[in-house]
Amino acid sequence: MFKAMRRYVYIILVLGLLGVSFGAPLARFVPGLAALTIAFWRMAGASMLLWAHAPLKPQGPLNQKHMTPVIIAGVFLALHFTFFYSAVKLVPIANATLFATLAPVFTLIYERFILKRKLPIGALIGLWLAIGGAVLVQVSALKFGSEEVLGNLMALASSVFMSVVLIIAERMRNTNTTIQYTRWVYLFAALALGLIGLISGIDLRFTLPDAKWILALVILPTLIGHNSMSYAVKYLRPTIVGSMPFGEPILATILAWLLFGEVVGLSVVIGGGVTLAGLTILTLKREKLKR
């Protein structure tokens, strides 16, 4: 029975990886929408569907003492998606997704320097490999002009913002269900994005032809992608779940090639491979860091 359940969860995890890999390619189908608009409707749509699910399966209230960190997580998630989709508009999908997966690097730096946890040698090797590969990709972009450099840096910033979300989520997931937590985080992310849009004068409207792509962004990378991984962490080792997103740049790059004919440069292949190897090593050694 337990083995059958594990196989079921692995299937969910693989579906989650496939779903999240559509996050960047789908945004290419709505080029007329601002990055903030795409992020707003992705978060608002996901939140609305999760809240609509409440009558079918009540989740109970969120602990009031968790509300402040959840609001903070929502704001940083809003920043993550805004910077990520801004990057997608400037650089190839391979670059954007690669730099956007570097959150584990920043969470590890937080654990080492803020929480004062010692680094195992394996985690240290993984950390430097991940950074070295990212530097290789970034340096190769210098010759292509400032727009690609800016896009890479924006994707990297999105990783910094996501690392804050992950640090908060790790604390929240022990006492809250996946839906209980994510519906609030997505709601506060949408509110933050809406407020930024109103203040900055960004048009948050979309046309009817855009609706199907926005719905796809809500369902595939958000509800199926991120929520599947949040669900799987209850049944599988965190290291297994944590290493799955590193497949996103590979799958997203394949989708970008199939859908848009984007060809990946040799430096991105080499640097990206080094970074993904480093992230995998870092994640696998992270359990030792927590002991």
pLDDT tens-digit readout, 135-184: 888 776 555 557 888 999 999 999 999 989 888 887 776 677 888 889 99
Helix (H, G, I), strand (E, B) or coil at 32: coil
Say how many C-beta atoms besides its own lie within 10 A of residue 266's C-beta. Answer: 8
pLDDT tens-digit readout, 87-136: 999 999 999 999 998 888 888 888 778 877 777 788 778 888 888 888 88
The answer to whether residue 241 scores a pLDDT higher than 70 is no
Tokens read off for 274: 């080094």
Under 8 Å between Cβ of 94 and 141 = no
46: closest CA among 212, 214, 204, 200? 214
pLDDT tens-digit readout, 50-76: 999 877 777 778 877 889 999 999 999
Residue 105: what residue type? V
pLDDT band at 268 (very low <50, low <70, confident <90, very high): confident
Under 8 Å between Cβ of 164 and 101 = no
pLDDT tens-digit readout, 193-226: 999 999 999 999 999 999 999 999 999 999 999 8
162: closest CA among 99, 223, 225, 117? 99
Spell out the residues 6+ positions from residue 144 whose beta carbon is closer than 8 angstroms to its own. Answer: none
Residue 104: what residue type? P
Domains of the chain: which residue ranges?
A: 2-290
Spell out the residues 6+ positions from residue 200 whose beta carbon is closer than 8 angstroms to its own. Answer: 36
